[in-house]
Chains A and B, each alone.
Chain A
Amino acid sequence: MRLVIDLQAAQGPSRHRGIGRYSLALTRGLLRSRGEHEVFIALNGLLPHTIDEVREALAGMVPDEHFLVWDAPGPVDGANPEYDARREAAELIRESALAALCPDFILASSIFEGFGENIVTSIGRLASIPTATVLYDLIPLIHRQVYLPNEQVEKWYESKLGHLKNADLLLAISESSRQEALDWLGVGDGQAVNISTAADDHFSPAPVDKNTRRYLEKEYGLERPFVMYTGGIDHRKNIEGLISAFARLPLDVRCAHQLAIVCSVQEPDRHRLLKLAQDEGLASGEVVLTGFISEEDLLACYRSCKLFVFPSWHEGFGLPALEAMKCGRAVVVGNRSGLPEVVGLESALFDPFDIDSIQAKILEVLTDDRFRAELERHGLKQAGKFDWNNTAQRAWAALEASHKRRTLAGLSPATAPKSLRRPRMAFVAPLAPDASGISDYCAELLPELAKHYRIDVVHPRGTVDHPWIRSNCAVRDTRWFRHHAYEYDRVLYHFGNSQFHSHMFDLLHDIPGVVVLHDFFLSGVVSYREGSGEKPGAWSQALSYSHGWQAVSRRYAAKDPDEVLWEYPCNLPVLQDALGIIVHADYSKQLAQEWYGSEVAQDWQFIPHLRQSLPNVNRERSREELGIPADDIVVCSFGVLGSSKMNHRLIEAWLDSPLGQDPRCHLVFVGQNDQGEYGSRFERMIRSSKLAGRVEITGWADHATFRRWLDAADIAVQLRTLSRGETSGTVLDCMNSGVATIVNAHGSMAELPRDAVFMLKDEFDDADLRDALVTLWRDQSRRLSLGARAKEHIKRHHQPRQCAASYAEAIERYYARAASGGPGLIRAIMENDSAGELDWINLSGSISRSLPLSPRRRRLLVDVSVLVQVDARSGIQRVVRSILSQWLAEPPLGWMVEPVYADLAGRCYRYARRFTSGFLSVPDYWCEDDVVETYPGDIFVALDYHPEILTRQHDILQEWRLRGIHLHAVIYDLLPVLLPEHFPAGTKEGHEGWLKAVSQFDSVACISRSVADEFKDWLENNAPERQRPLLVNWFHLGADTEQSLPTKGKPSDAEQQIALLREGPSFLAVGTIEPRKGHRQVLAAFEALWAQGVQAKLVIVGKMGWQMDEFAARLRGHPEIGRRMFWLESITDEYLDDIYRVCSCLLVASEGEGFGLPLVEAARHGIPALARDIPVFREVAGPNAVFFANKKDPKAIADAVKKLLSESANSHKVDKTWITWKKSSQDLLACILQNKGGAEDVLHDGGIEADRRSGFVGVQN
């Protein structure tokens, strides 16, 4: 059984107490004892701040994909009559979203919610899905005059009561509340079940130490043994009675005790109660009103009270009494409603309406120590009966029983009684004279389907050339249909892969209906739409939408775009727009699962192709008309010729067999020859063979000729290869006319029964085919029996009437589902909105978020917000480019990669389609940068870095995260925060804001272990409050520049420069001229070296950054410039490559880096490095570098250079292995997907493995 629990009660204002706590505890109990059952949790997106808390409370018990967060435009609270229309819309959306999960049962944690807040509860407004709800009590109904004081409250309560009556099962929290349901709601005995309740385990007996006593005395003034009450101030709680009773105690007893009323109390109530105490003659301090106290203090109060009194005259259950009993206290309660069953002891009861009775009971307990001890003992024992596991098991048992009753009674909507009038159907299909197999099919189907529906056919022309249709159906054109679509109860679309279907795409988009998918591949008609100008760019749009960027680049890279036609089906929009799919072969289902995942196509209906059984075949007359002698053997192949029909293979086998030698054997291809190259080659092949007279192509055969050949044939051969899920009608025609048919087990033909056709292997060889021909040629009886069985099979399984009945059944089933899905929801909301008050634009956004598209691909939304605007060619952008190009070329299995960017003005994200087209060098005329809609399971990757954009989009991203979109960020460094003095003013603050934003993500990947460590340190001191853990991981960057679209070109003096550098030992410093990079220290070191006469050259490569103007001026005017010192500003990647090659050592003096890409590049060129001794350089360069001490003194560098020059060149072997961008992008992907279950292989770098274990940084409140 699939149970959806609506946990809004745990999101409301009382989420920390009472009903909220009960709902969460019950849910946890249900999850623990779920056994085989599936449990989904539905949450309300209008209360975003509570979602994380609930998710965390259920962490590890419910998988991520079992959370549904639905959404509706707010506010919707019941107190405001102006919100009525919006609230009703929200109720419908909620029901529709829950119904989309296909639950067997819904459990509403509380129905009486939402008067003062955005909680939405309803039962059976849209969908009649079995619903259970927890019933706490019916106090407002029973004590109307007190609890329903004004019209608005009464209206609200009555409407909720109306919904409650729609519930199939009430789970009462006590026997007394069950009894209330029976008495006041008139529900049947089996419809209300007592599942009881339990108190949290931390309520337990324990001695109270002196410190606690002192604390209670100081904090609340509880200095004497006290009588305790807790549980809210309310009329029915009868606190007034308790105070009066306490006042009537004998003076000595009263003076030895206090009365503690432990709960939050409003100021007017406090005055009223204290005044009452005074009037009753109580001194100040005898009654203590604590006001709101913490959970800890409450426990202390329970444990230290002498007696707990609960004088309420109406309770659903009376949880405080149970909690006090669990703490081992003596408890006395009123003898009404739920309380007696909680306490379970006659002598602990009193009459709450009788002050003297209360007084007497209190007096008895306070003065009779034995009695008190007995009550304490009994309480502990009685409390043991209440346990969450018992409650959960009772709830499951009740749900199971109710589910079973319903199943037995067959009350599911599918078998609900049908109206006697046939529903009206619009039948959208190609029809004669359209030259398409599907139009013939439809002409056969229509007369039978008309038994179930009143049918109008819809055709772009508005005219149809078929006598039955013309006389029995109204024929409408598409324009008319658009204006009258609402008049139809059902719409049926026949989709196929030819131009006759091109008008259906837009119709289906706007007018939902059931789709018969004759061909799985719709690429042909989609490209026709583009080519004919009907919808510019349609093909590329469909490729990108259904299959992602890889398919788009494939289209434009292919020499012959037609090749790509058969590579991608392009049918996702149709599958998403359809209310249900009908196919003629299981093969289509297989294809759907291969293309869109194993979840797809499970509800697709398979209906065999239909064939009217033919009257007796008149072989002789047909032969006579065709001029074929009666005794000759005729082998036919039916249908349009083409390479995919393997006609040439048939000829070859035929020529190779005795049939080819026998003048009384004929081979006939009944159908039009291929118009292309294949056709002309085939024709030459026939003409050149010496048997030209006995092999024939008939050309296009009309119905009568086709039929004549079917009658005349002895053997039919129908071969297929490269099938794309289309259904082959001609094989069925052959079988229907009783011809012995040879087929190969390809595509849908593999599903034919083996005893009714001669089945070859899918990839048969020529000998197989030849043997088959010979067998059937020689063995007449086998021919006849095979044909007879084929005919019988068609009669049994393809009978039109039976198929039409299956159609009706499937269509009705799909429409029953649609009634609670999108189409039903829209209609229902519109019916409610007769005044036209609703904001449909907001609504449609909410609905699309609450009812995700299906089927859909999971997507990796890669943020390239900066790159879209400008390619700054910075280090970060190089990373973005490299990783993006890898991901686009090879998306992870089962995922689509979609670059997106922030639209700050529109407050949304958009697909970066135009940018990506340019990035992949494909035309962009077809695409639009549409708004991104996200669905649970998608992943957002903040790959680009821009502090402002991300912080401004923070709200959007958090909204996504709460709905189950995984947020992931790449952290390049923390330098602006760690070394703020090296950056322009404001950089630190910006970066901190960015770090704060990403620390609210689900996971981050840093570009080195060092950065990950720094980030974790930063988190410890600065992390904002989180409810859920943040996963910190790291990966390394690639070094093959050619993958990051390197820049090309060299200046004219490049050769001279390189020759100069080659001469002596040259040290290369690569990096922007900015304070952090340590250029000042390097120059000072080399000046010192030159002064000492050391012959070493210094090459600085890097463009001017910030805060270094004076240094730049010094460099430009330096006496050594152009001699022993060179500064190459902004050079291309190609030139830099040459420089690396001729230098002897890389010098990395930067005081902090995220990664240190030059170190890897140096290793790649085989030159050693001299680097500052900081953790990230040790991590990245490893043994390939010599380190100098991390000091600012130039001598540190100078000494290291001297030492290096004194050693022999061979002493620094460089390990030339470096990781590629391909590997790097895979590593990053592994970091991202590891907890999403998408990657098959996440084991690679030991670093990631190790870190995964230690990488959970759970920062709780």
Chain B
Amino acid sequence: MHSKSVHSILDLLALPVPDFVAVSYEMLLGRRPDSQEMQERSGVVRAGLGRARFLADMSRSPEYRQVNRRKLEESDDEAYVADLFVRYLERSPDPAGLRHYTALLRSGRKRTRILADISNSREARVKRTFWFELELLLADELADRHWAARWIGRARRRERQRNRMTEVLCQRSIVPLSVSMGESAASGATLRTSQRPVVQSYGDTRNLGRNARRLLARVSLLRGAAF
């Protein structure tokens, strides 16, 4: 699953085109694109649609709305709140919090209100999870489309969009995707600790098969615990 290695919106925006498309589908629609969609959507990104615009388009699609509506309507209250917590606070709800929100829901408060409450909470603003950032990005992007809102705060938005793309570029040059570990080992060089690339960067593992990836998953689980 590609989506596992995406922890922030920058991670997503920095992916190679086909991966960006695939992961966007996985994260927003909960499924993988079929080959035709893949080809077509990768094509429009390559043609210069803009990645933010791509995500905004997707967020306005009937499918995305349906997926979201299902989330909003179908699960029970506890599960819904727990899901919001994980999304925006990266943790499961504390008992008090859970009680508070489910009580509100039972008293008739709309789910969208709860969503707004949690996603705008102080904690969420500090943690800035993937979903938090995504919504920020979508808000910027969609604001530009609205005839009236277009001019309000436009300069600040533009600046933010620009800066975001700069960050993406920086990120790509920091994570040395092209300097794969394989090459350096093949040339016989021993990697010094200081120049050691990030082991779990996305690009490096793509040429590994299933068995090797499983080993790596087991290693990173142990390693995550050990360090």
Contacts and interface: CB of A to CB of B under 8 A. Distances in A.
Interface in A26-76: 73-75
B32 A537 contact: yes
Contacts of B212: 844-845, 847-848, 933
Interface stretch (A477-485, A520-528, A1020-1028, A1050-1058): A477-485
Nearest to B184: A839
Interface string B185-221: 1001011010010010000111111111111111101
Interface string B94-119: 00000000000000000000000000
A841 interface: yes
- Most A CB contacts (10 A, CB to CB) among B92, B180, B216, B219 go to B219
A826 B222 contact: yes
Contacts of B35: 914, 918, 924
B159 interface: no
B48 interface: no
Interface in A123-168: none
B35 to A, nearest CB: 6
Given A839-B191, A931-B209, A923 B215 contact: no
Interface in A570-598: 577
Interface string B47-82: 000000000000000000000000000000000000
Interface string A824-844: 001100100001110111101
B45 to A, nearest CB: 20
Interface string A64-98: 00000000011100000011001000000000000
B211 A853 contact: yes
A483 B225 contact: yes
B126 to A, nearest CB: 21
Contacts of B182: 841-842
A844 B181 contact: no
A841 B205 contact: yes
Interface stretch (A504-512, A686-694, A944-952, A1167-1175): A504-512
B34 interface: yes
B31 interface: yes
B38 to A, nearest CB: 9
A512 B211 CA distance: 13
B30 A536 contact: yes
A782 interface: no
Interface in A984-1021: none
Contacts of B214: 509-510, 577
B221 A511 contact: yes
A477 B214 CA distance: 22
B218 A839 contact: no
A467 interface: no
- Most B CB contacts (10 A, CB to CB) among A75, A484, A844 go to A844
Nearest to B211: A848
Contacts of A485: 221-222, 225
Nearest to A486: B225
A1002 B204 CA distance: 33
Interface in A495-546: 509-512, 533, 536-537
A907 interface: yes
B34 A837 contact: no
A569 interface: no
A930 interface: yes
B190 to A, nearest CB: 4
Contacts of B207: 906-908, 931
A668 to B, nearest CB: 37
Contacts of A1078: none
Interface string A1171-1209: 000000000000000000000000000000000000000
A214 to B, nearest CB: 49
B226 interface: yes
Nearest to A909: B209
B188 A75 contact: yes
Contacts of A914: 35
Contacts of B193: 835-837
Interface residues of A, number: 52
Given A845-B208, A847-B215, A848-B215, A836 B196 contact: yes
Interface residues of B, number: 39
A924 B222 CA distance: 34
A1029 B32 CA distance: 47
Contact of A931 (B92, B191, B208): B208
Interface in B90-146: 92
B31 A925 contact: yes
Contacts of B156: none
Given A479-B92, A845-B208, A848-B211, A510 B32 contact: no
A659 B155 CA distance: 90
B209 A827 contact: no
Contact of B223 (A483, A512, A830, A844): A830
Given A853-B211, A923-B34, A931-B208, A486 B226 contact: yes
A823 interface: yes
A483 B212 CA distance: 21
Contacts of B210: 930-931, 933
Nearest to A932: B209
B174 to A, nearest CB: 18
Contacts of B208: 841, 844-845, 931
B222 A830 contact: yes
A822 interface: yes
A933 B208 CA distance: 8
Contacts of A840: 199, 216, 219
A537 B30 CA distance: 12
A830 to B, nearest CB: 6
Nearest to B37: A925
A302 to B, nearest CB: 42
A536 B215 contact: no
B191 A510 contact: no
Contacts of A830: 219, 222-223, 226
B196 A844 contact: no
B109 to A, nearest CB: 25
Nearest to A853: B211
A824 to B, nearest CB: 12
A1166 B167 CA distance: 72
Given A848-B211, A931-B207, A512 B219 contact: no
Given A837-B191, A839-B191, A930-B210, A844 B221 contact: no
A510 B199 contact: no
A482 B188 CA distance: 36
B211 A933 contact: yes
Nearest to A509: B214
Nearest to B204: A841
Contacts of A477: 92
Contacts of A926: 32
Nearest to A847: B215
A1087 B76 CA distance: 87
B114 to A, nearest CB: 22
A847 B217 CA distance: 13
B87 to A, nearest CB: 14
Nearest to A477: B92
Contacts of B206: 906, 931
A931 B193 CA distance: 29
12 contacts: A82-B190, A485-B222, A510-B214, A510-B217, A536-B30, A536-B32, A822-B215, A839-B185, A841-B204, A906-B206, A923-B34, A933-B211
Interface of A: 73-75, 82-83, 86, 477, 479, 482-487, 509-512, 533, 536-537, 577, 822-823, 826-827, 830, 835-837, 839-842, 844-845, 847-848, 853, 906-908, 914, 918, 923-926, 930-933
Given A844-B216, A931-B210, 10 more contacts: A509-B214, A511-B218, A830-B222, A839-B185, A841-B205, A844-B212, A844-B219, A924-B34, A924-B35, A933-B210
Interface of B: 30-32, 34-35, 92, 180-182, 184-185, 188, 190-191, 193, 196, 199, 204-219, 221-226
The 6 closest A-B pairs by CB, nearest first: A933-B209, A848-B211, A844-B215, A848-B212, A931-B209, A844-B212
